Amino acid sequence: MTERTRSVAVLALSAVLFVVVLVIGPGSEMAALRRILGLGNDPLGRPADVPPGGVHAFLEHQPGRPDEPVTWDPCREIRYEVNPDQAPDDADETVAFVRDAVEEVAAVTGLTFSYEGLSDRRPDPQGDVLLTARPDPVLVAWADDDEVDELDGDVAGVGGATARSYDGDAWLWFVTGGVTLDVQAFDRLADGPDGLAERRAILLHELGHVVGLGHVDSPAELMYADSVGQREFGLGDLNGLAALGRGRCR
């Protein structure tokens, strides 16, 4: 065998091995690369293993399928932006605060979030989202009840997501959403001894809505409608989040 023939053989073998690794290789990086090359739709991450227990509810269900929640597409990143205007901390601290909470939700759901940077967009209190081919990223922002009526009273935050279908298919996926946090509530909590933990719990609760969790009747869960001192996701919350990470790829 000539040197040239050997080189071609080595290159051919390397190409075969690359394809084998690409097709069966583990990890979110391989999943993303396979998607880019058109070799299949694989979830970008994997939901956490959570012991059963607790209670959870979903924000929306598939039409005619009461046991199937509406989810985000686990094969695509969830883009999000932060508008730090009126937040109690400076921009860098605000972004770090938001990213820390998002990472916790990502770790449980297995969904992949992509931080797109600072934004000057404002919350859309009417929910009039234009569902273009590339909807706006999820927006995390601060506002008062003059701008967002839903923040009136003792409401410290609101959150949710908007779903759509594709190509005439009745199946729904969340494609955009937002969290709006109350300026006055966060200013008050900033001065309290447990203020950071309370603010974080509010943000986690609203991010739970963004990925598809609804309210529950159990005060042991963070998705309980009222603030009763729960600071972390409860067992039922975790089970719901993990289930939302096992949605269908588009």
Co-location of 143 and 75 in the same domain: yes
pLDDT score of 11: 43
Domain containing residue 24: 3-36
Co-location of 118 and 222 in the same domain: yes
Co-location of 129 and 235 in the same domain: yes
Residue 51 lies inside a defined structural domain of this protein: no
Residue 65 lies inside a defined structural domain of this protein: yes
Tokens of 153: 């009273």
Co-location of 26 and 114 in the same domain: no
Co-location of 127 and 190 in the same domain: yes
pLDDT score of 141: 98
pLDDT digit string (tens) for 44-72? 999 999 999 999 999 999 999 999 999 99
Per-residue b or e along 81-108, where b marks 16 or more CB atoms closer than 10 Å to that residue's CB: bbbbebbbeeeeebbebbbebbebbbeb
Residue located via tokens 């600072």: 118
Nearest to 157 by CA among 175, 139, 174: 139
Co-location of 151 and 216 in the same domain: yes
CB 201 within 8 A of CB 232: yes
Co-location of 128 and 173 in the same domain: yes
Co-location of 12 and 112 in the same domain: no
Co-location of 67 and 127 in the same domain: yes
How many domains does the structure of the chain reveal?
2
d(CA 75, CA 78): 10
pLDDT score of 7: 46
Rg, C-alpha atoms of the chain: 21
d(CA 132, CA 135): 5
Q: Answer with the residue of higher pLDDT: 97 or 12.
A: 97
pLDDT score of 30: 53
d(CA 122, CA 139): 8
Co-location of 19 and 104 in the same domain: no
d(CA 236, CA 62): 21
Q: Answer with the residue of higher pLDDT: 42 or 39.
A: 42
pLDDT digit string (tens) for 89-105? 999 999 999 999 999 99
**Which stretch of DSSP H or E encloses residue 95?**
helix 91-109
Residue 72 lies inside a defined structural domain of this protein: yes
Going from the C-alpha of 204 to that of each of 26, 68, 136, the distances in angstroms are 29, 23, 21
Co-location of 80 and 202 in the same domain: yes
**The domain that contains 192 carries what CATH number?**
3.40.390.10
Residue 158 lies inside a defined structural domain of this protein: yes
Going from the C-alpha of 247 to that of each of 2, 29, 101, 211, the distances in angstroms are 53, 19, 21, 11
